[in-house]
Structure 1
């Protein structure tokens, strides 16, 4: 049995866990997920038990909050693990999470390989100084096995623990949901949503905050060659009202739509209507939205600060990687899109689909993880 210990349920992990359970059962194993809490502040996902086709448990605990850090304290974690008697334990979360530290302190008692599922990389570090760096190195050096979603994360782990055994485990999305069907029509969706048929549509999906670079993108778009372009910004956050006022003041409503928070079905529809997906993030461990857009055959414009940018984009073939999030770099890339013909963007979107189909499906990720598990059996 593989037991995954993670903070809260999320839709993308649920879809992966469902497939992983199926693949484990095929080889005489199984999955059990231990959740440290039901939700966290700022998370908008609704948990539906019927969507989870694998055994799971919610641990009782204390859930304080310290400036965006959620240290779930679960006193019964080890008791649950001893009852389950796993062959492997995989900890998904931060290196300093109480669950991760608890597992390390009880490593000998648990008597099975402990794998750390890490998404961290240097561009995504929130807190760092010599004391934190010392603690991070100390903890990561005590772990032997790691799975990571991208090359940046692998480099990060090997920096702190050069003896680490590291395997790739890309974060996946529900590709059956984020894939085109014969009934999907870009023209029909644009018409039903009042989107222009003659323009190149750029879609951004993110929280509206400093980290996601949304105001930087807006300011660059305002100065760029925008006559042939139209932007749809999906999400909510601290800059929602600011953007709303700026769009009105700058008289850009005919070029820029702010939708607020949307349900997945509506996000999917806007992505189908789009030509290009844009993510001008300043820090992001491993964003899922460009993976979703790739399954829907979109050209990508993604910041180099996104952990999986190089894994998803062959620069110039299926999109572009922005080196920095500043006005000059953003304007340059927006203008490149404005000067690229729609039929070329469509071909680039096909390339995006090929890339994610080869490496980012739940089945392939599950199969590769099982091969890794068998290599590190006790």
Structure 2
């Protein structure tokens, strides 16, 4: 059985699922920079071998030398830097990154200079550099990575989880919906994520005002420092009764929100590769998202499985939302197309990609 050493920053639901599946086909050992749970969702117990990289760096180096493949995902500064620079003999090395931010300000000054040095090392010492989708691969090329080294390697979901919704889930979803609507609403739009300025949830609230339809509701799932500001904004626009702040939801509650809602809206200014968009697509939800959201740009087929629009263009967002209010049949049609796209990325695809590297 081929051996893989995988170094990541911290546990997350999508990584747990991927590592669990990879462990079935490879001798996998995972090391985290942050071993304790940092993801706000409760995470299930996992059975693949995993440890903290701190205090185990020599062991990681030893294992890497005896592995067929070393994968570094994310960035834990000096530990990953040592692993990058340490001669690995015949071990293949892959760096897996989210969509890089090409904002000029990020690459200027002393910090920008250091980033450019590190990224040059990454491009030189790794056999392949993976990003989460087409936008990320294009960004890597713009940063100077050899096109021959660039590969797409995305996030994966357990697609079987979404196939059959149990009667109990349906009952819970109906109760969830009843708690969070005023009446029989025409369309329920859902936003989800940290309530922070870069998510631009205020644009979705402004779009609700422009719709001027009291039977349309916006759910915002999540918490964060901007929550009270957004509530005041909704009051100013006289739409607080239509904007429901759901607060923090655990994973099973997020599923209820997906089941109960109609259309997913992601108005972020810049979001490298938001997993929540992919999650919404697996639940067969049409997507309205900004082209600055990497996963939406990568997966959403404009006019088929959803709509893409430039960040900040509230009128365009409102028009796209109005389309689903006026064409309710399109909600199911677009949603099925979104689900079809999600199903074209099964975890078996990841297993085959890894096999092709260590073959």
The TM-score bracket by the shorter chain reads 0.7 to 0.9
Q: CA deviation at 1:298?
A: 0.6
Q: Cα distance 1:39–1:327, how it changes in 2: closer, same or farther (>3 A)?
A: farther
Contact 1:124 1:284 in 2 (8 A): no
Match of 2:12 among 10, 13, 16: 10
1:66: which partner in 2?
none
Q: Which has the higher helix share?
A: 2
2:99: which partner in 1?
120
In 2, Cα distance between equivalents of 1:363 and 1:126: 39
Match of 2:151 among 167, 181, 197: 167
Measured against aligned partners, the alpha-carbon deviations of 1:212-243 in whole angstroms (never above 9, x if no partner) come to 11123222322234334211000011111112
User: Are residues 1:99 and 2:99 paired?
Assistant: no
With CA pairs under 8 Å and 6+ residues apart, which has the higher RCO, 1 or 2?
Answer: 1
1:345: which partner in 2?
331
Q: Cα distance 1:13–1:268, how it changes in 2: closer, same or farther (>3 A)?
A: same
* Unaligned 5+ runs, structure 1: 61-74
User: Are residues 1:80 and 2:60 paired?
Assistant: yes
Secondary structure at the residue paired with 1:170?
coil
Match of 1:37 among 30, 34, 39: 34
In 2, Cα distance between equivalents of 1:258 and 1:279: 15
User: Are residues 1:134 and 2:116 paired?
Assistant: yes
Q: CA deviation at 1:170?
A: 1.2
User: Are residues 1:55 and 2:49 paired?
Assistant: yes
Secondary structure at the residue paired with 1:232?
strand
Between 177-186 and 221-230, report the one with greater CA deviation: 177-186
Secondary structure at the residue paired with 2:344?
helix
Q: Cα distance 1:290–1:19, how it changes in 2: closer, same or farther (>3 A)?
A: same
Contact 2:180 2:244 in 1 (8 A): no
Contact 1:123 1:283 in 2 (8 A): no
In 1, Cα distance between equivalents of 2:99 and 2:36: 21
User: Are residues 1:369 and 2:354 paired?
Assistant: yes
Matches within 5 A, 1:175-214: 175-183=159-167, 184-185=169-170, 188-189=174-175, 192-195=178-181, 196-214=183-201
Q: Cα distance 1:120–1:301, how it changes in 2: closer, same or farther (>3 A)?
A: same
Q: CA deviation at 1:15?
A: 1.0
Q: CA deviation at 1:335?
A: 2.8
TM-score, length-scaled by structure 1: 0.84
Match of 1:298 among 285, 290, 300: 285
Contact 1:275 1:345 in 2 (8 A): yes
Q: CA deviation at 1:289?
A: 0.7
User: Are residues 1:282 and 2:276 paired?
Assistant: no
Q: CA deviation at 1:334?
A: 2.7
Secondary structure at the residue paired with 2:159?
coil
* Unaligned 5+ runs, structure 2: none
Q: CA deviation at 1:193?
A: 2.8
Secondary structure at the residue paired with 2:270?
coil
Q: CA deviation at 1:336?
A: 2.8
Between 305-314 and 172-181, report the one with greater CA deviation: 172-181
Q: CA deviation at 1:185?
A: 3.6
Aligned residues: 348
Contact 1:175 1:292 in 2 (8 A): no
2:22: which partner in 1?
20
Matches within 5 A, 1:217-296: 217-296=204-283
RMSD: 2.5
In 1, Cα distance between equivalents of 2:355 and 2:153: 11
